[in-house]
Chain A
Amino acid sequence: MTQIPGTGNRVLIPCSAGQDLVRIVQINEEIKSIVAVAFKINIMALNAIFLAKRAGTTALGFGVLSNELRVFSQDLKTAMGGLGGAIHKAVTEVSVLLQDQRVLRLLQEAERLSGGNARVREAVLARQEKLESHKANLAQQRRQLKLVLGNVAQLVELGGVLAKSAKIEAAYGQAFSFALSQVSGEFDGVVEEIRLSLSHLNKSGFFARGRSQ
């Protein structure tokens, strides 16, 4: 059997558009993990609703919060879907940029080797114009993504508040207090997981490039 060299290593592409593509893929993976967590919250909230029903009047508040957490998980899933859509547009723009860069490199080389052929020069200029336009589109996509990320962060803050409130409500659960506290603690944990993922997304070099441009 032949071992593929470098299997398991991260792909390193030296040009900036190539780096962007790698970063977008990483962002997309992070989005997928958040969507998976959103699904987990949905199931957890459903269980919490049943638990609150069993606990009866002592867990009325907890039941309301569990319902809200379920709505939150659905909103989060929708927001992440929007983010995924924006990511796919960015992938398209970066791929076009990669193509622009390759074509431009080869045309510039042809211009140099041919001693400045005027028509190749025209083709170089036309391709440079396209490249600039695609760069502008990508910058726009970057801003759009950042905006959506900001909205998701606000939504997650709301989720955090709901999880904290559920913790407080659990304390009033009397005989069910331990079980409710356990569930609310899990809510808190998964919301923290999402916060961490969002923080990774915000630190992505893809957005850092946007700030330096």
Chain B
Amino acid sequence: MKASQCFFQDGEHKWVAIVRDPDRPDALIDTNEYLVACNGSGLLLDPGGAEIFPAVFSALSSGFDPASLVGLFASHQDPDIISSLALWLEFNPRLPCYVSWLWASFIPHFGGSAESFVAIPDEGMEINLNGLPLQAVPAHYLHASGNFHLYDARAKVLFSGDVGAALLPSRTEGLFVENFDAHIRHAEAFHRRWMGSNEAKRAWCERVSRLKIDMLCPQHGAIYQNQDVERFINWFDGLRVGVAVG
């Protein structure tokens, strides 16, 4: 079963990571799901694939009432991000899913109807979570052509989807990056291949450099905190991406 770990809390405002499932079948890539909660309402970020729904649901419900979820946020359209949508909608048919307008008619192949989606325009938008303003930050082409990250200015947390992702060895347990140089080796090939545009990467690095970020939370791997956030942005800025031998 996945573990749920609260890594930021300020009164009723918290961030919870749902990570590391030892029972996950090897064929499934490991994913991180995040819950942002404020004043009893929650937004689940990249809720995961259908096959891991039971593990995510149970980990979530161990510290939060899933009935208090008021929305889902999908950074992009991949199956490991949002193929569980139909199951979340079985649980609560009125749960809206925030996603790039580009995918609003693709994701319904996983479930839901036109009413299930809140289409995020290319420039991003603010999402108000029961009084907490969250910003959908454009990250197009990193890696999907319609792609958003989510920034919480109060917590100084940036959910960065696949940016910052690392494919860690199977028995890795730590929630945070402990040794940047050792960690980034597990991120390099992923970023070179999955991130398709150097131009988009540059724009993203400039955009997020202007934000105050204490923690950068990717969908795979470990969370970057404090100095490692800047280290990661600089590393990414200098990396040549969109490289594949074919």
Contacts and interface: CB of A to CB of B under 8 A. Distances in A.
Interface in A173-199: none
A47 B84 CA distance: 60
Interface stretch (B10-18, B34-42, B85-93): B85-93
Interface string B52-93: 011101100110001100000000000000000011001110
B57 A114 contact: yes
A119 B91 contact: yes
Interface string A105-124: 01101101111010110010
Interface residues of A, number: 16
B50 interface: yes
A120 B67 CA distance: 10
Contacts, number: 46
A106 B87 contact: yes
A109 B90 contact: no
A171 B236 CA distance: 90
B125 to A, nearest CB: 29
B51 interface: yes
Given A117-B61, A119-B66, A110 B1 contact: no
Contact of A114 (B61, B87, B90, B92): B61
A106 B61 contact: no
A65 B224 CA distance: 85
Nearest to A99: B86
B148 to A, nearest CB: 27
B54 A110 contact: yes
Contacts of B91: 107, 119-120, 123
B67 A110 contact: no
Of A109, A114, A126, most buried by chain B (CB within 10 Å of CB) is A114
Interface residues of B, number: 17
Given A106-B50, A119-B67, A113 B90 contact: no
A103 interface: yes
Contacts of A110: 53-54, 57-58, 87
A129 to B, nearest CB: 12
A113 B55 contact: yes
Contacts of B66: 114, 117, 119-120
Contacts of A109: 53-54
Interface string A21-43: 00000000000000000000000
Contacts of A127: 90
A105 B109 CA distance: 20
A107 B87 contact: yes
Give the 7 A-B CB pairs with smallest separation, nearest first. Answer: A113-B58, A109-B54, A110-B54, A110-B57, A114-B58, A114-B61, A123-B90
